[in-house]
């Protein structure tokens, strides 16, 4: 394990930025967000960024390809040029876990080469949480906020940052930082992890359980009458899906620039009324079906296809962002029976 | 913090259910942490007794829900309306968006609603909240109990409350208030004084955060089209994400144009924006312009009123006036 | 099973022939600019066709893989993309990617069996690929029955091929029907589900259904009445698709993605899915 005192963090960042693009959460008036680090920017202590870290691998909008149209002829132009290595610094345990959940979709055969390319170029430096809040429920999904996964795992104490490599990529990154870090044992970290575990056990949602849900339970939950009540005031907006680190539905659209056609991919939402609309019909006619789809996907369908892994990481973004304050916790409590209390 | 107590609303709802005036109640439902209140339909006295909430977090404007709710069943629905909600209620009625006969509207006085984000600027965790006189007591995980003056926590639209007077109801609980002399156009005036470049910079910065979740549109009581132009595959502007930064701005500007003269300035758009974009300022700019060019006009204040923008008069402002004003601002 | 390095990037295809099948169905022949097939496929698989600037949509490949020269798509005009395709002229380039989805188990579960194909309207399009595959490898299959119906005689897709080729094959019986009487029609009149019951097939065969949902519903009921088991009956499904590779998230029925796990399903498999299609 390596360590660096907090007053030297800037040296650490500028060292990383010498060879790779460095992104980290910084505070803004409207909450923390990932920004490219440059001299003067400070690492935010915020628990979560407003937008999740999925943008780095699955951006909201991306140009997939261009088309040149001439008469009856079409030329397809591959527009990709992303070849830069980058480091995402300070990713919380929940968001790190979301990458595994996204990987299982995007990297499943046939892999999405756009996503895969970014994934290969990115190094994840995670940051253990110290002050989880009332909207946190990562432990419901067996995520340890105090000891996240990642290529490099960081723990921040009052005076120092502790760094530990967990992969070859992480090893390489840490080795390149030997000039500015020093060797240390993990005792300070162990102490902090203990404190945070104790804090996590006292969180209001600490006893929320997902045990009622999981693989192959479609029939058990699909026709439950509670869906109507749960979804009755849903606006059908995409806020939950767009702030969610694991939502990965997308649309592919063409945009005629006047000089050619750009085909781009953008986030889409199963909550939208036109998501499944075809010229021939619409399998999800009302918001009840759309709402059900989103939560069935996270709690049943995804686990069915992915060895029981849930497609929620308990980051709590939907809890704080839904315009009508409906969210997966309320859904789980309503449908899962005696989960809490 | 609200003068009128939850019990009064609950009793009213139970009475109206019991005497058959209504068969369901549109109200606010308790969540996990006091601040996460959800709009809900209550069907029985038991449901109301258990989960009905009336506190400083009942910001949701129910008027738009009536469009769909009144299409269900034959009975009347009871809706509780804060003063600002009654303007949207009237405006929707003016546009014939729901059947007035299917609604029993009870006006509720309001002292303003709290913006939980302002609490979260003071502490990172909010386990529960009590209102104690003029103070909001926040029980936190790490900072103990914080007692904060409620007036410092009010959401922007409540700080600049336009009216404590109900403009539509079947019945009123408590005393009605007056139309307020608010400073709601101050920020618009500040933006107007900017140079075009500064103003562009301001909006560029604000709108660049948009994630196109459509929450602003979907919550907006003025946006009740059955099929929004932005969702219609037959429309050339249908899209789910901006292909470039120009489009990103256009979505909000087009939307502001679409609600001109119909926006009551209820502020729901800004309340629900996950990115805290001050969308209400776009609408207020239009309202301020209408006030200045055509005389004061408050959408929804009178049932059946025609907005000046769709009501031709001989002495209407000429388009050139707007252009000249634009030059002055440039 | 899909071997596509760039699953979202299409190749250019040239439309070399356009056949007008019915007032709203045309069949397009597509090859690459150097005159080859864009890729190999199996019966029941689909491809994404697109006109840049208009959109991309999923279509079943109606030609048989045994056709070594080109691919064909029979397409009904019903939305933006299909309207554009219908307005094309020969020589127009489009883009094509695929193949997507699981094919019919023509070489395994179907092998050695009598086959019963039942189609309504444009529903013949996905079956044509299987029918021609079975005809090509005639000795691998038993007797072949084809029941096909449409609104009118003019709405029968591939009519010429059915009359000139299919009905002339040994061991192939074609049963055509149209919904309403027409002066120039001397064949059967009536809806497909009833016709199937009237014909009364023995249950020792594999049945494949494709057509409008209402036809599927009643034909399946009829087959079950005749004694068929759901494990003997197949269909191919269609929902809105964007990626074709099970990632964009919109064509699922429960945990199954039509583009990846389908489009071919057996009815006992469909029973396991929630009713949302």
**Range C152-170 average pLDDT:** 87
B242 touches chain A (CB under 8 A): yes
A329 touches chain B (CB under 8 A): yes
C contacts of A264 (beta carbons < 8 Å): none
CB contact under 8 A, B124 and A133: yes
CB contact under 8 A, A74 and C277: no
CB contact under 8 A, A133 and B36: no
* Distance from the A227 Cα atom to the nearest Cα atom in chain C, whole angstroms: 14
A36 touches chain B (CB under 8 A): no
CB contact under 8 A, A289 and C276: yes
Cα separation values, A244 from A9, A312, B211, Å:
30, 8, 12
Q: Which of residues 33-62 of C touch A (CB under 8 A)?
A: 50, 52-56
Helices (H), chain B: 6-18, 45-51, 65-69, 83-94, 116-120, 156-159, 186-192, 196-207, 215-219, 245-258, 268-272, 280-294, 319-329
Rounded Cα distance, B166 and A151, in Å: 59
| Cut 0.80: pTM above it | yes
Among A164, B317, A281, CA closest to C79: A281
Among C11, C145, C17, C138, CA closest to C72: C17
CB contact under 8 A, A134 and B125: yes
pLDDT digits (tens, 9 = 90+) for B273-303: 999 999 999 999 999 999 998 999 999 999 9
Phi and psi torsions of B48, nearest 5° = -70, -45
pLDDT digits (tens, 9 = 90+) for A58-94: 999 899 999 999 999 999 999 888 788 999 999 999 9
CB contact under 8 A, C78 and A279: yes
Sequence ranges of chain B with CATH classification 3.10.450: 116-153
CB contact under 8 A, C250 and A76: no
**In this predicted structure, what is the pLDDT of residue A276?**
84
Disruptive mutation site among A62, A74, A244, A257 for chain C (greatest number of C CBs within 10 Å): A74
A contacts of B79 (beta carbons < 8 Å): none
**In this predicted structure, what is the pLDDT of residue A282?**
82
Rounded Cα distance, B124 and A134, in Å: 9
CATH number of B116-153: 3.10.450
B42 touches chain A (CB under 8 A): no
C contacts of A111 (beta carbons < 8 Å): 7
pLDDT digits (tens, 9 = 90+) for C113-128: 999 999 998 899 999 9
Place of tokens 């990709």: A80
C217 touches chain A (CB under 8 A): no
CB contact under 8 A, B32 and A205: yes
Sequence ranges of chain C with CATH classification 2.40.30.10: 11-100
**Range C254-274 average pLDDT:** 90
* Distance from the A191 Cα atom to the nearest Cα atom in chain C, whole angstroms: 42
Chain B residue with minimum CA distance to A250: B240
CB contact under 8 A, C242 and A252: yes
CB contact under 8 A, C54 and A254: yes
**Range C219-225 average pLDDT:** 91
Helices (H), C21-105: 80-86
- pLDDT confidence tier of residue A178, bands split at 50, 70 and 90: very high
- pLDDT confidence tier of residue B246, bands split at 50, 70 and 90: low
pLDDT digits (tens, 9 = 90+) for B97-129: 999 999 999 999 999 999 999 999 999 999 999
Q: Please determine, for residue C251, whether its predicted confidence score (pLDDT) is greater than 60.
A: yes
pLDDT digits (tens, 9 = 90+) for B42-53: 999 999 999 999
Name the average pLDDT for chain A.
92
CATH number of C114-236: 3.40.50.80
Residue B255 structure tokens: 């939307």
Rounded Cα distance, C46 and C32, in Å: 17
Q: Please determine, for residue C95, whether its predicted confidence score (pLDDT) is greater than 50.
A: yes
pLDDT digits (tens, 9 = 90+) for B170-221: 999 999 999 998 899 999 999 999 999 999 999 988 998 888 899 999 999 9
- pLDDT confidence tier of residue A259, bands split at 50, 70 and 90: confident
Rounded Cα distance, B124 and C264, in Å: 52
Rounded Cα distance, C95 and C81, in Å: 12
Could you count the other beta carbons within 10 Å of the beta carbon of residue C229?
11
With residue C59 as reference, give the H or E element that holds it. Answer: strand C55-60
Rounded Cα distance, C167 and C161, in Å: 9
* Distance from the C249 Cα atom to the nearest Cα atom in chain A, whole angstroms: 5
Neighbours of chain B (3+ CB pairs under 8 A): A
C89 touches chain A (CB under 8 A): yes
**In this predicted structure, what is the pLDDT of residue C159?**
85
* Distance from the A188 Cα atom to the nearest Cα atom in chain C, whole angstroms: 43
A contacts of C213 (beta carbons < 8 Å): 281
Neighbours of chain A (3+ CB pairs under 8 A): B, C
Chain B residue with minimum CA distance to A270: B213
CA Rg, chain C, in Å? Answer: 18
Among B265, B283, B223, B282, CA closest to B64: B223
Q: What b-and-e string marks burial along C238-255, b requiring 16 or more CB atoms within 10 Å of the CB?
A: bbbbbbbbbbbbbbbbbb
Query: Do the Cβ atoms of A153 and A163 come closer than 8 Å?
Result: yes
With residue B146 as reference, give the H or E element that holds it. Answer: strand B145-149
- pLDDT confidence tier of residue B73, bands split at 50, 70 and 90: confident
The minimal CB distance from A326 to the residues B38, B125, B142 is found for B38
Rounded Cα distance, C72 and C37, in Å: 10
Residue A240 structure tokens: 């939950």
CB contact under 8 A, C53 and A65: no
Name the average pLDDT for chain B.
91
**Range A319-330 average pLDDT:** 95
Could you count the other beta carbons within 10 Å of the beta carbon of residue B196?
10
**Range B234-254 average pLDDT:** 72
What is the CA A170 to chain-centroid distance, rounded? 20
Disruptive mutation site among A256, A324, A331 for chain B (greatest number of B CBs within 10 Å): A324
**In this predicted structure, what is the pLDDT of residue A341?**
39
The minimal CB distance from B209 to the residues A30, A199, A262 is found for A30
Residue C227 structure tokens: 């004694």
Among B83, B264, B111, CA closest to B179: B83
CB contact under 8 A, C10 and A108: no
The residue that leads in pLDDT, C171 or A54, is A54
Q: Please determine, for residue C1, whether its predicted confidence score (pLDDT) is greater than 80.
A: no
Rounded Cα distance, B108 and B84, in Å: 10
3-class secondary structure, C147? strand
Rounded Cα distance, C59 and A148, in Å: 44
Cα separation values, B265 from B68, B152, B168, C29, Å:
22, 21, 16, 57
pLDDT digits (tens, 9 = 90+) for A264-300: 898 999 999 888 887 777 888 889 999 999 999 999 9
CB contact under 8 A, C247 and A106: yes
C240 touches chain A (CB under 8 A): yes
Disruptive mutation site among C8, C246, C263 for chain A (greatest number of A CBs within 10 Å): C8
Disruptive mutation site among B47, B51, B235, B274 for chain A (greatest number of A CBs within 10 Å): B274
**In this predicted structure, what is the pLDDT of residue A339?**
39
> For the domain with range C11-100, which CATH number is right: 1.10.150.120, 2.40.30.10, 2.170.8.10, 3.40.718.10?
2.40.30.10
């Amino acid at each position: 394990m390596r360590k660096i005192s907090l007053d030297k963090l800037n040296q650490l960042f500028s060292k990383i930025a010498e060879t790779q693009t460095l992104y980290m959460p910084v505070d803004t008036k409207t909450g923390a967000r990932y920004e490219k680090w440059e001299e003067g920017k400070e690492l935010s202590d915020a628990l979560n960024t407003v937008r999740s870290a999925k943008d780095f691998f699955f951006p909201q909008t991306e140009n997939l390809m261009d088309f040149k149209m001439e008469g009856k002829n079409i030329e397809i132009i591959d527009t990709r040029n992303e070849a830069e290595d980058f480091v995402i610094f300070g990713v919380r345990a929940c968001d790190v876990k979301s990458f595994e959940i996204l990987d299982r979709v995007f990297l499943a055969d046939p892999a999405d080469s756009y996503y895969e390319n970014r994934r290969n170029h990115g190094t994840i430096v995670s940051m253990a949480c110290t002050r989880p809040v009332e909207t946190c429920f990562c432990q419901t999904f067996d995520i340890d906020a105090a000891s996240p996964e990642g290529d490099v795992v960081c723990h921040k104490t009052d005076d120092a940052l502790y760094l530990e490599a967990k992969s070859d990529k992480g090893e390489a990154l840490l080795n390149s930082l030997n000039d500015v870090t020093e060797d240390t044992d993990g005792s300070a970290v162990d102490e902090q992890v203990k404190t945070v575990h104790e804090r996590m056990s006292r969180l209001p949602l600490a006893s929320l359980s997902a045990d009622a849900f999981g693989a192959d339970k479609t029939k058990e939950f699909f026709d439950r009458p509670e869906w109507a009540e749960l979804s009755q005031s849903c606006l059908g907006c995409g806020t939950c899906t767009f702030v969610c680190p694991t939502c990965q539905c997308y649309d592919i659209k063409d945009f005629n620039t006047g000089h050619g056609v750009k085909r781009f991919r953008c986030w889409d939402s199963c909550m939208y009324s036109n998501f499944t609309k075809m010229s021939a019909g619409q399998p999800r006619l009302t918001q009840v079906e759309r709402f059900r789809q989103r939560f069935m996907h996270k709690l049943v369908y995804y686990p069915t296809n992915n060895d029981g892994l849930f497609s929620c990481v308990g980051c709590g973004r939907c809890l704080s962002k839904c315009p009508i304050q409906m969210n997966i916790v309320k859904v789980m409590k309503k449908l899962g029976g005696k989960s809490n209390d | 913090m609200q003068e009128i107590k939850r019990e009064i609303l609950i009793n009213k709802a139970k009475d109206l259910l019991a005497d058959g005036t209504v068969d369901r109640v549109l109200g606010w439902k308790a969540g996990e942490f006091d601040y996460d209140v959800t709009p809900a339909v209550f069907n029985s006295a038991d449901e109301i007794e258990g989960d009905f909430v009336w506190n400083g977090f009942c910001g949701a404007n129910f008027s738009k829900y009536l469009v769909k709710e009144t299409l269900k069943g034959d009975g009347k629905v009871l809706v509780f309306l804060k003063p600002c909600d009654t303007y949207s209620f009237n405006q929707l009625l003016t546009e014939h968006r729901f059947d007035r006969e299917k609604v029993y509207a009870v006006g509720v006085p309001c002292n303003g609603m709290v913006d939980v984000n302002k609490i979260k600027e003071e502490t990172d965790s909010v386990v529960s909240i009590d209102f104690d006189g003029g103070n909001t007591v926040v029980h936190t995980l790490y900072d103990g109990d914080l007692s904060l003056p409620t007036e410092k926590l009010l959401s922007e639209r409540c700080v600049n409350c336009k009216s404590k007077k109900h403009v539509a109801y079947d019945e009123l609980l408590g005393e009605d208030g007056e139309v307020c002399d608010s400073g709601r156009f101050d920020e618009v005036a500040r933006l107007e004084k900017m140079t075009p470049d500064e103003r562009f910079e301001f909006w560029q910065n604000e709108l660049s955060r948009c994630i196109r979740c459509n929450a602003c549109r979907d919550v907006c009581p003025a946006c009740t089209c059955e099929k929004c132009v932005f969702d219609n595959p037959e429309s050339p502007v249908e899209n789910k994400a901006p292909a470039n930064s120009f489009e990103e701005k256009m979505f909000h500007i087009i939307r502001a144009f679409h609600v001109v003269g119909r926006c009551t300035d209820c502020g729901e758009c800004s309340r629900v924006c996950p990115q805290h974009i001050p969308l209400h300022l776009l609408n207020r700019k239009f309202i301020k312009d209408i006030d200045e060019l055509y005389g004061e006009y408050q959408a929804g204040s009178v049932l059946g009123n025609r907005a000046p923008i769709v009501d031709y008069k001989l002495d209407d402002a000429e388009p050139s006036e707007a252009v000249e004003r634009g030059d002055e601002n440039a | 099973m899909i071997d596509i390095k760039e699953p979202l990037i299409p190749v250019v295809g040239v439309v070399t022939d356009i056949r007008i099948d019915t007032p709203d169905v045309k069949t397009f022949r597509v090859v690459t600019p150097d005159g080859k097939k864009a890729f190999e496929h199996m019966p029941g698989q689909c491809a994404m066709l697109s006109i840049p600037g208009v959109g991309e949509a999923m279509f079943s490949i109606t030609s048989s893989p045994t056709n070594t020269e080109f691919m064909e798509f029979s397409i009904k005009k019903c939305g933006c993309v299909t309207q554009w395709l219908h307005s094309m002229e020969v020589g127009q380039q489009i883009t094509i990617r695929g193949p997507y989805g699981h094919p019919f188990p023509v070489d395994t579960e179907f092998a050695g069996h009598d086959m019963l194909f039942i189609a309504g309207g444009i529903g013949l399009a996905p079956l044509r690929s299987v029918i021609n595959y079975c005809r090509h490898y005639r000795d691998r299959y038993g007797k072949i029955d084809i029941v096909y119906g449409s609104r009118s005689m003019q709405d029968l897709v591939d009519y010429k091929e059915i009359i000139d080729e299919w009905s002339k094959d040994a061991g192939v019986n074609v049963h055509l029907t149209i919904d309403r009487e027409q002066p120039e029609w001397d064949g059967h009149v009536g809806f497909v589900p009833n016709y199937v019951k009237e014909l009364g097939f023995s249950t020792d065969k594999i049945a494949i259904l494709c057509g409008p949902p209402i036809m599927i519903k009643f034909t399946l009921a009829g087959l079950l009445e005749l004694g068929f088991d759901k494990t003997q009956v197949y269909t191919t499904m269609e929902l809105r698709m964007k990626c074709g590779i099970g990632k964009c998230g919109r064509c699922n029925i429960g945990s199954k993605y039509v583009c990846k796990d389908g489009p071919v399903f057996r009815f006992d498999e469909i029973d396991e899915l929630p009713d949302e299609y």
